[in-house]
Amino acid sequence: MTQLASSFARLFPLPRRQFQFPRWNPAIGTRSFSPSPVTFRAAQVSKKKNTIMATVNTKTGQVIDRTVLESMLRRRLFYTPSFEIYGGVSGLYDYGPPGCALINNIVDLWRKHFVLEEDMLEVDCTMLTPHEILKTSGHVEKFADWMCKDPKTGEIFRADHLVEEVLEARLKGDKEARGQKVVVDEEKEAKRKKKAKETKAVRLDDAVVKEYEETLAQIDNYDGPELEQIITKYDIRNPTTDGNLLPPVAFNLMFQTSIGPSSNMPGYLRPETAQGQFLNFQKLLDFNQQSMPFASASIGKSFRNEISPRAGLLRVREFLMAEIEHYVDPEGGKKHSRFQEMKDIELSLLSRDVQLSGSTQTTKMTIGKAIESGLVDNETLGYFLARIQLFLLKLGVDPAKLRFRQHMANEMAHYAADCWDAELQTSYGWIECVGCADRSAYDLTVHKNKTGAPLVVREPRVEPLKIEEWQVDLDKKKFGPRFKKDGKAVAAAVEALSQEFREKLALDLEQQGKIEVDVEGVGSGRVELDKELIKIEKRTRIENVREYTPNVIEPSFGIGRILYSTLEHVYWSREGDEARGVLSFPPAIAPTKVLIVPLSNHASFRPLSHRLMMKMRRMGISNRVDDSSASIGKRYARNDELGTPFGITVDFQSVKDDTFTLRDRDSTKQVRASEDEILQALKSLVEGDETWEDIRKRLPEFTGQEVD
Amino acid sequence: MTQLASSFARLFPLPRRQFQFPRWNPAIGTRSFSPSPVTFRAAQVSKKKNTIMATVNTKTGQVIDRTVLESMLRRRLFYTPSFEIYGGVSGLYDYGPPGCALINNIVDLWRKHFVLEEDMLEVDCTMLTPHEILKTSGHVEKFADWMCKDPKTGEIFRADHLVEEVLEARLKGDKEARGQKVVVDEEKEAKRKKKAKETKAVRLDDAVVKEYEETLAQIDNYDGPELEQIITKYDIRNPTTDGNLLPPVAFNLMFQTSIGPSSNMPGYLRPETAQGQFLNFQKLLDFNQQSMPFASASIGKSFRNEISPRAGLLRVREFLMAEIEHYVDPEGGKKHSRFQEMKDIELSLLSRDVQLSGSTQTTKMTIGKAIESGLVDNETLGYFLARIQLFLLKLGVDPAKLRFRQHMANEMAHYAADCWDAELQTSYGWIECVGCADRSAYDLTVHKNKTGAPLVVREPRVEPLKIEEWQVDLDKKKFGPRFKKDGKAVAAAVEALSQEFREKLALDLEQQGKIEVDVEGVGSGRVELDKELIKIEKRTRIENVREYTPNVIEPSFGIGRILYSTLEHVYWSREGDEARGVLSFPPAIAPTKVLIVPLSNHASFRPLSHRLMMKMRRMGISNRVDDSSASIGKRYARNDELGTPFGITVDFQSVKDDTFTLRDRDSTKQVRASEDEILQALKSLVEGDETWEDIRKRLPEFTGQEVD
């Protein structure tokens, strides 16, 4: 694996930048590899989720069969491979009507929960990004994976994936030869079988098995040269042809293009939305009338040119992100004014220390306690962790399958103060869906240094600051004639002298009437200055304005991953004559809120269905009429799979007295009441003011029809 | 100009595909140039909008000063050049908080007005698109502009723009020499002055003036070789250096990239969202339970690599589109079931014939009449024109500045049945903001032919169709041994025989016992078949299923252009001590609906402001508190520029009795009432149930404070 992808983020597209620069040190320019116990243990944790298909249960206690679920999701057009009639392109998916509605609803909820609730400044920046910006941010140099090419077939492999695949196959062959039971990810196995030769049941030396296992446990931590060593040492080849491979080379994961008609403006599709927000910092601060703290936010597509995408919606080349950049004063402990509202919220935390001990045991703790104890770095970071949890729970995420995992020291960028991922448990393992990092002043600083733009906050000091310091005066009139063209260089060298050195020079000047200063490239490199030219004095300077670069707390959401994980969390199947899938979306995010089902094709039902539809549309409740000829049971079954939470049946009684039955998707219980009461109940359910239990208690139950 | 951009669409990024293939004939492969009177007159119409800065008035009768407006929009961060601290990139803009809210509100309204109102199937397809798809659609070959390079400086010019710029400068010099008044677009002039040499006041021959004017009038219609002739004939050079230029070459306007690690999958950023919808047609038809007609819809970014973008937000390289593909049965006159609801809506129509006569006079006509008279091709197309108008008016578009312009025959693709643009009048001229075309079966057909995917509708016939036809039977057993490897070719040649020819052959076979058939590449090219091998008989075939390729009616919206044009339509300035800009957005799209203004910083106001804010937030009414120390007048002035329609003032009276004043942005009139009444009024205003006039009549007027 490369210096760019963290131990825990290897299987999936990275919504978070710090995943990509876990140990990147711009001072050194490259990471120093150290297969420390830390790295080893962290990698072991990560291995657990990647190699086997995790056994995860639905809320109703059934084991999730991912193949069945994914087939249902495709059949119902939640998503579909892009360009399928042209053969498709891996890592690219289109969202069909229910998937698209789901995304829109998640984004809408996100905007309400974050942007509107906290008056964040939402921006929409371009995806096309010139080279220079991503050079400054570090992406041009560091946003890469290692790949190997087969010179004969032209096939390209992601180096770490290849090593993993081959060694796992050998270990499996060894187990077979030893007559042990082999647990495999069926999907992965099917793919492997399709292209590779049959696994050979070959028994390996015990020592080799141990070596392979250790290598696999550390697979996330290898860089290119190390992967090359492993490939050579274990004679790893193209699994299909057995051909030798070329050594791994770095492959930048940004899609490159050229802006404008000449080829002199190379650009990329952005790998994240954050850079556009940073570049507009000064304008946003102005818009916010110079008031701190504040946050910007952005929702939009980003891109990552995966070498060989797999894992469905979790690892794609084009994905929707929602990112917040919350700017905070680095002084004063990064307090948050609304932290009190969050402090008693309990989170499942998986700390760095626990991971170091080789465990994945989470601790339940209020965010208030986590900050008191120093586990979470500061209030603002903690505030957002709690807010992220509240958001995910609104979507229907199962709290038992949500944890916050702290980044290991070697996962974080050197400048980051602390970083936590909200991870959701799925059949692919624990998936990081939201990153929340304290990135310190890094991003604004690099762009400020590169462009000279004042990406800083300037605020009047309540108490002016008095600074005692050694100041230097140069006699400009004599300075010019004396040094001529070297004047500027000499003056700059003097200006650059430290306070300490100035104090020493002041004494020398006092005692000897002259001093010597190093000035590179002028004369012998040492210049003499006498009392006529220079004066050095200790004075008091009053600073009325404080200037600082804000720190950034960055919650960053991978919407596609959240969507997929939520689908797994709300999925279950109804036991009955036949197993039927149900998606128990909360009403707020359900693609369609209400299904209107006329009992039959009878003409008298049509005006009633139409009236209900129009009334709900005006109330902003999305609904669909299904007047197909299928049985009521079949029509409801279809909508169980689409996750429609409520159904209204129009029957002969409705024609007589304008009463309707209202059905709850999850319990299949029904109530019957007047049109007004039913619509009022729906409004209340959809807006979250009442639950189905509330409605069932106050409206009469209906048991007349058999709809299953 | 190229074969790709229509006469009327040259200055701006094209939301519509048919603009780009005005006369493209895939049968011929290239357009045949004919500077007919038609072309000439159409171009003259278009010239009017492009060459001079149009004088347009606000609703209040003031002349719009675009420089002032655009400066206000940038100051208030509606939009800003992207990457400005890195020097910026032309044609790329970021939307700041008010612009972003405006876009979100427009998109939200669009979704309600179109997608929800008609149960359209919204999809979200990838922007990355492999080469093959855009080759099939014709974009790879035809989506291009002509550009000239200066071999010395490396500068690149869009050929038609260059000719235009140079000839216009010469005509201006001529006018100056003749002592005539020169009307210029100030912005354009300023740009020209910045880079070019001063215009020379040189008098031209009358004949030359006429030639230049004619060339300019036709500038949209020239292809590369013609532009080359013009450049040579009039000795057009680099305006800055006077250097000679290379001949024009075609420049494809798609951004190219490479998908995956090997370079064997070239791809592009999509130039439109339509292709993704077409490719998913079959799945969407399934999702719609095979029911026709239906529509898909998509909202997303598209890209166009402009050679030299100008005209601000109207011509950009990355833009938001909203497109509908409405699939309709080509038989039965393309009726629309809800047309009755639209038939009395009156539109301003600029027909093809009127344009041919050299006029731009629009006719007001109900869409019902327009279809009856044959002016608009069919009901479905007409239905959407009316729906488009209703949508634009909801945004605050000035009805006096909206027209529907029919495409000229030479602007449309050969396959299009009819096409109308909704154009909005701005200081840049009449801008096409929505295209609405009947594209016939073209798109589905090309993808079906290329991939073999069944992009068709199959429906049971109510009455089975009886078809009398000549059928051919071949005796396969004897056929193989007889023709060996040529068997297939011979059989195919026989299958391909027309009904007419089969009838004739049946007679020959009957009379002579044998026939001869042309089969290219087999023997002498003519093959003999006798009665033993072939039988030709007239029989009746019963067809129970009808299979057809639906036609597509495609309303396509350029959201950025609609946004900019709407900004011009709702802009005016308040006369007073100082001229102040106001954006009179309708509440539905206003970025913020309510400004809460405490009279002063007094501590007793804070809880009231906070309570109002929280209550409105819960009601879904976006609002902001401005408790800065600026005067109330200044705070309202800022929000006039942001287009906030309502303001609530919190004063000492509020603290006493919980009454508040509510201010209307446009009239600056105020009413005073209890908190509940004020919030109820706001809900009613924002949801469009009442107007300010309604509120003013039923709540007591307040004149106590002077807020200007």
Per-residue confidence at B584, pLDDT binned at 50, 70, 90?
very high
Residue B29 domain flag: no
Q: How far apart are CA B17 and CA B271, in angstroms?
A: 9
pLDDT at B482: 83
Residue B621 CA, distance from chain mean position: 31
Please say whether the beta carbons of A406 and A426 come within 8 A.
no
User: What tens digit of pLDDT does each residue of B216-236 get?
Assistant: 877 777 888 999 999 999 999
Mean pLDDT computed over B108-123: 95
3-state SS, residue A368: helix
**A24-28, A352-356, B470-474: segment of lowest average pLDDT:** A24-28
Q: From the list A264, A289, A306, which residue is nearest B628 (CB)? A: A289
Mean pLDDT computed over B524-546: 90
Hey, of A125, A156, A158, A559, which one would you mutate to test binding to chain B, going by the most B CBs within 10 A of its CB?
Answer: A125
Strand partners, B250: B146
Strand partners, A124: B95
Residue A261 domain flag: no
For residue A24, pLDDT over 50 is answered with no
Residue A43 domain flag: no
Which residues in chain A have their CB less than 8 angstroms from residue B77's CB? Answer: 283-284, 286-287
User: What tens digit of pLDDT does each residue of B6-30 get?
Assistant: 333 333 333 333 333 332 222 222 2
User: What tens digit of pLDDT does each residue of A554-578 get?
Assistant: 999 999 999 999 999 999 998 764 4
State the complex-level ipTM.
0.85
C-alpha closest to that of A18 among A409, A603, A431:
A409
Q: How far apart are CA B341 and CA B51, in angstroms?
A: 41
Q: How far apart are CA A278 and CA A450, in angstroms?
A: 13
Mean pLDDT computed over A383-403: 98
pLDDT at B22: 32
Q: How far apart are CA A690 and CA A682, in angstroms?
A: 9
Residue A401 domain flag: yes
Enumerate residues 6+ apart whose C-beta is below 8 A from A41. Answer: A355, A356, A357, A358
For residue B623, the distance in angstroms to the closest alpha carbon of chain A comes to: 9
For residue A9, pLDDT over 50 is answered with no
Is residue B133 within 8 angstroms of chain A, CB to CB?
yes
The mean pLDDT value of chain A amounts to: 87
User: What tens digit of pLDDT does each residue of A440-449 get?
Assistant: 999 999 999 9
| C-alpha dihedral sign at A481, A484, A489, A493 | negative
For residue A363, the distance in angstroms to the closest alpha carbon of chain B comes to: 34
Enumerate residues 6+ apart whose C-beta is below 8 A from B549. Answer: B330, B441, B444, B445, B448, B455, B456, B457
Q: CB-based burial of residue A461 (10 Å sphere; 0-12 exposed, 13-18 middle, 19+ buried)? A: exposed
For residue A37, pLDDT over 80 is answered with no
C-alpha closest to that of B250 among B160, B312, B346:
B160
For residue B639, pLDDT over 90 is answered with yes
Do B451 and B480 fall into the same domain? no
For residue B37, pLDDT over 80 is answered with no
C-alpha closest to that of B203 among B164, B171, B165:
B171
pLDDT at A520: 83
- CB contact under 8 Å between A251 and B269, yes or no, is no
- CB contact under 8 Å between A97 and B282, yes or no, is no
Hey, of A83, A110, A624, which one would you mutate to test binding to chain B, going by the most B CBs within 10 A of its CB?
Answer: A83
Strand partners, B303: B318
User: What tens digit of pLDDT does each residue of B84-106 get?
Assistant: 999 999 999 999 999 999 999 99
For residue A120, pLDDT over 90 is answered with yes
Please say whether the beta carbons of B204 and B174 come within 8 A.
yes
Question: Which 206-265 residues of chain B touch chain A by CB within 8 A?
Answer: 251, 255-262, 264-265
Do A313 and A332 fall into the same domain? yes
Q: From the list B90, B122, B303, which residue is nearest A100 (CB)? A: B122
Of residues B67 and A485, the one with the higher pLDDT is: B67
For residue A357, pLDDT over 60 is answered with yes
pLDDT at B191: 59
Do B388 and B516 fall into the same domain? no
Q: From the list A101, A287, A447, which residue is nearest B77 (CB)? A: A287
Tokens in use for B398?
Answer: 């000035």
CA geometry: angle at B706 spanning B701 and B708, to 5°?
A: 115
Per-residue confidence at A337, pLDDT binned at 50, 70, 90?
very high
Mean pLDDT computed over A113-140: 95
pLDDT at A44: 32
Per-residue confidence at A678, pLDDT binned at 50, 70, 90?
very high
| CATH classification of the domain holding B390 | 3.30.930.10
pLDDT at A184: 60
Q: How many Cβ contacts (< 8 angstroms) between chains A and B?
A: 207
For residue A40, pLDDT over 50 is answered with no
Phi-psi region of A328 (alpha: psi -120 to 50; beta: other; left: phi over 0): beta
Please tell me the number of Cα atoms within 13 Å of B260 on its side-chain side.
Answer: 20
User: What tens digit of pLDDT does each residue of B337-380 get?
Assistant: 999 999 999 999 999 999 888 888 999 999 999 999 999 999 99
pLDDT at A36: 28
Q: What are phi and psi of A334, to 5 degrees?
A: 50, 50
H-helix or E-strand containing A171?
A: helix A159-177
pLDDT at B63: 86
C-alpha closest to that of A215 among A423, A51, A9:
A51
pLDDT at A527: 87
Q: From the list A127, A283, A303, which residue is nearest B77 (CB)? A: A283
Q: How far apart are CA A205 and CA A54, in angstroms?
A: 29
Please say whether the beta carbons of A559 and A469 come within 8 A.
no
Do B519 and B553 fall into the same domain? no
| CATH classification of the domain holding B537 | 3.30.720.200
Residue B11 domain flag: no
pLDDT at B8: 31
Entry pTM: 0.85
Of residues B492 and B395, the one with the higher pLDDT is: B395
3-state SS, residue A385: helix
Q: Quick one: what percent of chain B has pLDDT higher than 70?
A: 89
Do B371 and B439 fall into the same domain? yes
Enumerate residues 6+ apart whose C-beta is below 8 A from A693. Answer: none
Which residues in chain B have their CB less than 8 angstroms from residue A447's CB? Answer: 85
Q: How far apart are CA A451 and CA A454, in angstroms?
A: 9
Do A276 and A230 fall into the same domain? no
Please say whether the beta carbons of A689 and A664 come within 8 A.
no
Is residue B132 within 8 angstroms of chain A, CB to CB?
yes
Per-residue confidence at B44, pLDDT binned at 50, 70, 90?
very low
Mean pLDDT computed over A494-516: 89
| Residue spans of beta strands (DSSP E) within B549-613 | 551-558, 571-574, 580-583, 594-598
pLDDT at B589: 96
Q: How far apart are CA B558 and CA B110, in angstroms?
A: 12
Hey, of A72, A75, A79, A82, which one would you mutate to test binding to chain B, going by the most B CBs within 10 A of its CB?
Answer: A82
Per-residue confidence at A41, pLDDT binned at 50, 70, 90?
very low
Per-residue confidence at A43, pLDDT binned at 50, 70, 90?
very low
Residue B16 domain flag: no
Q: How far apart are CA A476 and CA A482, in angstroms?
A: 10
User: What tens digit of pLDDT does each residue of A263-297 get?
Assistant: 789 999 999 999 999 999 999 999 999 999 999 99
User: What tens digit of pLDDT does each residue of B644-692 get?
Assistant: 999 999 999 999 999 999 999 999 999 999 999 999 999 999 999 999 9
- CB contact under 8 Å between A257 and B260, yes or no, is no
Do A420 and A339 fall into the same domain? yes
Tokens in use for B567?
Answer: 């900004």
| CATH classification of the domain holding A230 | 3.30.40.230
Do B681 and B613 fall into the same domain? yes
Choose one of A202, A226, A252: the last residue of a domain: A252
Choose one of B192, B220, B252: the last residue of a domain: B252
pLDDT at B13: 34
pLDDT at B385: 98
For residue B187, pLDDT over 90 is answered with no
CA geometry: angle at B506 spanning B501 and B510, to 5°?
A: 150
Do B153 and B208 fall into the same domain? yes
- The 3-state DSSP composition of chain B as helix, strand, coil percent (nearest 5) reads 40, 25, 35
Mean pLDDT computed over B421-447: 95
Phi-psi region of A597 (alpha: psi -120 to 50; beta: other; left: phi over 0): beta
- CB contact under 8 Å between B100 and A122, yes or no, is yes
For residue B86, the distance in angstroms to the closest alpha carbon of chain A comes to: 6
pLDDT at A33: 27
Do B326 and B237 fall into the same domain? no
For residue A311, pLDDT over 50 is answered with yes
Greatest mean pLDDT among A190-194, B306-310, B550-554 lies in: B550-554
For residue B705, pLDDT over 80 is answered with no
**A53-57, A483-487, B343-347, B432-436: segment of lowest average pLDDT:** A53-57
Do B115 and B168 fall into the same domain? no
**What is the domain count for chain A?**
4
pLDDT at A53: 59
Choose one of B204, B225, B252: the last residue of a domain: B252
**B49-58, B204-213, B449-458: segment of lowest average pLDDT:** B49-58
Residue B247 CA, distance from chain mean position: 31
Residue B14 domain flag: no
Is residue A341 within 8 angstroms of chain B, CB to CB?
no
Please say whether the beta carbons of A232 and A189 come within 8 A.
no
Which residues in chain B have their CB less than 8 angstroms from residue A123's CB? Answer: 94-97, 100
Residue B400 domain flag: yes
User: Can you give the residue range of the structural domain that contains A184?
Assistant: 144-252
Is residue B287 within 8 angstroms of chain A, CB to CB?
yes
Do A471 and A485 fall into the same domain? yes
Q: Which amino acid is at A652?
A: F
For residue A16, pLDDT over 50 is answered with no
pLDDT at B31: 26
